[in-house]
């Protein structure tokens, strides 16, 4: 669009203008509340110095694989003024964000549902690709055995953070797909902006009732105007199936007390998905994705590479219809290879979300200049990592 200017929001002077777009579309948040989150920025669109679009961006660390953490910016509450929709404004704001974030983030990301929706297609057009597929599981109120658990509130949850970290790491120490956990994470997450936009009461279920923590579940019930009559599991972790079964019984009894279903969202590699199905959770078609696109591919590769020695003698490029970049030059580089594929596969490779060796063997990825052993060495540098989605991370 001629004369359209897209750039980063000036903090804090333009927060009010950004919110004038955001709050006209989404549940309102005040400028005072926004000021609590200095890690947020936004891509703004102006026409003749009048704001016509805004994409809030939550800058956050993200664990791609164990010990491999990148910087990202998660898009949320994307919107344009009603009379400027479907005119390419959103795409231009994404392009601007790629440019002004490139020196401080490796990827743009977003949580998104509905593969058949216009909103999903917007993210595809603007360069995002699916990195993980999740589906909802829901258990209606019904008979459930008593559980040897304690049930508390937000304060009870925050008091257990040290033990929760131990249990979370036992459950998800080999996973990626979430914000890195550390002491203080849960206090930050459960006071994040989403809980201002959508107020929720926290339910904390721990097993056993007393003593060393073996499993826990953080759940919530929405209150106020956006109440949805569900108990939503935000995070669940445990040291084994028996302990998880107890906290699931506990949270299901909370659903029974409120005469409402218990719901969660899980990926294909979720360690508790099959157990939930055994306990009466009904699984739906996939619904939710985490989408992303690299904006600093070489820096991304360096941060996620698991074995740089395996490719020390290579100069590595990636090629897709929309991406052409050198992502690695080893200290002993003597030759160059180029991994070719569609954006979906290249992005998944760079985010440790594909079995590289199997993808090359099945002609999903191809390698220009390949020599014997190259696909195995690439697989060592970028081994597949299972991801788990925790709803507590959602923004």
Neighbours of 10 (CB within 10 A): 13
Q: What is the pLDDT of residue 166?
A: 98
pLDDT, tens only, 24-76: 999 999 999 999 999 999 999 999 999 999 999 999 999 999 999 999 999 99
Contacts 24+ apart (CB under 8 A), 10-19: 11/38, 11/41, 14/44, 14/51, 17/44, 17/51, 17/54, 18/42, 18/44, 18/51, 18/54, 18/56
Rounded mean pLDDT of 360-365? 98
* Distance in angstroms (rounded) separating the CA atoms of residues 115 and 117: 6
Average of per-residue pLDDT across 309-327: 98
Long-range contacts: 161-164, Cβ < 8 Å, 24+?
161/185, 161/186, 161/187, 163/212, 163/213, 164/213, 164/216, 164/237
User: Percent of the chain at pLDDT above 70?
Assistant: 100
For the segment 348-360, the average pLDDT, to the nearest whole number, is: 98
pLDDT of residue 287: 87
- Segment 338-358 mean pLDDT: 98
Running DSSP on this structure, what letter comes out for residue 106? S
How many H-runs (helices) and E-runs (strands) does the chain carry? 14, 17
pLDDT of residue 109: 98
CB 236 within 8 A of CB 220: no
* Terminal Cα-to-Cα distance of the chain (whole angstroms): 30
pLDDT attached to residue 1: 72
9 half-sphere exposure, CB direction, 13 A CA radius? 26
**pLDDT of amino acid 395:** 79
Query: Which domains are seen in the chain, by residue range?
Result: 4-127 (3.40.630.30), 137-290 (3.40.630.30), 296-381 (3.30.1050)
The mean per-residue pLDDT over the stretch 331-341 comes to 97
Mean pLDDT, to the nearest integer, of 292-298? Answer: 98
pLDDT at 147: 95
The C-alpha atoms of residue 85 and residue 97 are separated, in whole angstroms, by: 19
pLDDT at residue 330 greater than cutoff 80:
yes
Chain segment 228-285, per-residue pLDDT in tens: 999 999 999 999 999 999 999 999 999 999 999 999 999 999 999 999 999 999 999 9
Query: Which pLDDT score is estimated for 167?
Result: 98
Q: Which residue has the higher pLDDT, 227 or 359?
A: 359
Mean pLDDT of the chain: 96
Sign of CA dihedral 166, 167, 173, 176: negative
Tens digits of per-residue pLDDT, 298-308?
Answer: 999 999 999 99
The pLDDT value given to residue 229:
92
pLDDT at 224 over 90: no
pLDDT value of position 72: 98
Q: Give the whole-angstrom CA distance, residue 26 versus residue 170.
A: 38
3-class SS at 186?
helix
């Amino acid at each position: 669009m001629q004369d359209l200017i897209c750039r980063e929001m000036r903090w804090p002077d333009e927060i009010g203008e950004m919110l004038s777009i955001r709050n006209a579309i989404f549940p309102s948040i005040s400028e005072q509340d926004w000021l609590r989150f200095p890690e947020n920025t936004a891509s703004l669109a102006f026409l003749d110095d009048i704001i016509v679009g805004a994409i809030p961006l939550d800058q956050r660390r993200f664990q791609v694989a164990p010990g491999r953490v990148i910087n990202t910016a998660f898009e949320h509450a994307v919107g344009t003024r009603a009379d400027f929709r479907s005119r390419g404004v959103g795409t231009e704001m994404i392009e601007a964000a790629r440019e002004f974030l490139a020196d401080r983030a490796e990827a743009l990301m977003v949580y998104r549902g509905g593969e058949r929706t216009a909103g999903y297609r917007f993210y595809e057009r603007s360069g995002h690709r699916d990195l993980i597929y999740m589906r909802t599981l829901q258990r209606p109120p019904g008979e459930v055995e008593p559980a040897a658990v304690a049930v508390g509130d937000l304060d009870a949850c925050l008091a257990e953070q040290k033990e929760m970290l131990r249990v979370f790491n036992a459950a998800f120490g080999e996973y990626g797909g979430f914000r890195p956990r550390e002491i203080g994470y849960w206090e930050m997450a459960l006071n994040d902006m989403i809980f201002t936009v959508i107020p929720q009461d926290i339910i904390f279920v721990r097993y056993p009732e007393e003593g060393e923590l073996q499993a826990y579940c953080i759940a919530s019930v929405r209150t106020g105007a956006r109440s949805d009559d569900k108990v939503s599991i935000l995070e669940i972790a445990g040291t084994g199936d028996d302990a998880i079964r107890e906290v699931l019984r506990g949270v299901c009894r909370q659903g029974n007390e409120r005469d409402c279903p218990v719901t969660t969202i899980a990926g294909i590699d979720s360690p508790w998905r099959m157990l939930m199905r055994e306990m009466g959770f009904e699984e739906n078609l996939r619904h939710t994705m985490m989408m992303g696109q690299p904006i600093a591919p070489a820096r991304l590769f360096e941060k996620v590479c698991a074995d740089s020695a395996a490719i020390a003698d290579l100069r590595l490029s990636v090629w897709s219809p929309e991406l052409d970049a050198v992502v690695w030059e080893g200290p002993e580089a003597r030759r160059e290879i180029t991994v070719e594929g569609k954006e979906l596969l290249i992005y998944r490779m760079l985010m440790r979300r594909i079995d590289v060796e199997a993808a090359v063997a099945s002609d999903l990825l191809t390698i220009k200049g390949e020599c014997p052993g190259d696909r195995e060495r690439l697989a060592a540098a970028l081994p597949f990592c299972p991801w788990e989605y925790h709803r507590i991370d959602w923004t």
